[in-house]
Amino acid sequence: MEIRHRNIGVYNRVTRVISTGCGMLFALYSFLYLYFLQGNVTEALHFSLSHGRTAYSIFWSALVITFFLMLLRWGINAVLKLSGPWIALSYYPPALLLGVLTDVDRSVFQGGGFAPYWSWLLPLLSVVYVGLALILRRVERNKEWNNVLDMYSLNAGIFAVGCLVPVLIGNTDMYFHHELAVEHAIRHGEYAKALNVGKKSLKATKTLTVLRAYAMASFDSLGEKLFEYPQTYKSAGLLFDANTPPEELLRFNADTLYCRIGAKHDAGEKNMDYLSRISKIDSIPQTGKQYYLCALLLEKRLVDFCQAIQTVYPEGRALPKHYREALLLCERELPGYRSHIDDLTLRQKLDEFFEKRRSEYPSELAEQNLMRRDYGRTYWWYYYYQ
């Protein structure tokens, strides 16, 4: 179909179809972006701006923000009057704001907000956009469009590029998103949900490692689940301390953890020393002693672990999985030591572990990865390969 300016009715009809289609797609895109991809980021920004005084709903906020972005687009185009082949360009300002809104990092919890460079870059981009829009509008008035498909394809291309803007600008750091999701679940008492976040990832930040340990301790599963997740920080990955940089804390702080454990951390005291000290206090809750046992395993101090576990778990009491694994390993590593573990299945699994260790591998990295495939969720893999 040919579209000439003399056939203004067809031209306007095509413009309305394109405008409606772009509007529906952008509204859907904006909601999905805010709700699924950046929900925890906008929640963190709201917490910073409101100082935590007001409640926040990710779902309703995504709807409201999308609505205002659509109003913004309508207002801008009412002034610039982009039409025909350039109608999709009118969605660039709301797409840009969508990106700016989610361009926040860990400093958001220390009084930060939007990235400071937007104070000058956003006005500059606005001036460039207005100038470009006026030029394109003048070009469009002097050009005849001979095919409907030309207008559709040009708008589709412009719109697709516009949808990349928020993704390129917004914070897409996977580990930061994992930290926020875990912290959000913990604050709502959803500890099992917190442990499902990023469960298959082979890497974790120190903040994420500490938060996971806190979630496990909250329903007494440190000894059962700790080594199912990456542990690259030894005992330092169990707790925040007084020297932890503020950007690693998010909305938590060291006192939050000490409150659960039941004792304060002395200034300059290392986590291992702190946990060793409080483990000797009879009135310390079971949680504190679990932290100490796990710290010993993380530091690979098997002799101390064998001694400490006798004071926490009297003989005959059921032991969590990783403690059983560690005690069986002690039989291999500590001459003369014998445990009371009668789990034949676990003993057989340990025998298979050592048998596979004796196999030949192309390289140390290949051995590490192949052993991880079968034993990556055990203490044995951590002890020999981490």
- Quote the CA–CA distance of 36 and 169 in Å, as a whole number: 16
Q: Which residues contact 198 (CB under 8 A, 6 or more apart)?
A: 174, 175, 178, 181, 182, 204, 208
Domain coordinates in residue numbering, the chain: 1-171, 173-299, 320-385
Highest-pLDDT range among 52-61, 75-84, 167-176, 247-256: 167-176
pTM confidence score: 0.88
Interval 155-172 mean pLDDT: 95
- Quote the CA–CA distance of 166 and 179 in Å, as a whole number: 21
Distances (CA, A) of 289 to 50, 223, 232, 378: 38, 11, 21, 21
Helices (H), 188-253: 191-196, 206-218, 222-225, 246-249
- pLDDT tens readout for residues 237-279: 999 877 777 777 778 777 777 888 888 887 778 888 889 998 8
Closest CA to 210 of 295, 300, 117: 295
End-to-end C-alpha distance for the chain, whole angstroms: 66
Please tell me the predicted confidence (pLDDT) of residue 3. Answer: 52
Please tell me the predicted confidence (pLDDT) of residue 348. Answer: 96
The helix/strand/coil state of 269 is coil
- pLDDT tens readout for residues 80-106: 988 888 899 999 999 999 999 999 888
Q: What is the mean pLDDT of the chain?
A: 89
Phi–psi pair at 145, nearest 5 degrees:
-100, 120
Phi–psi pair at 178, nearest 5 degrees:
-65, -45
Whether residue 204 contacts residue 175, with contact meaning beta carbons closer than 8 Å, is answered with yes
Question: How many CB atoms sit inside 10 A of residue 77's CB?
Answer: 19
3: β partners: 145
Interval 64-86 mean pLDDT: 93
Q: How far is residue 336 CA from its own chain's centroid?
A: 45
Cα angle for residues 245, 41, 249 (degrees, 5° grid): 20
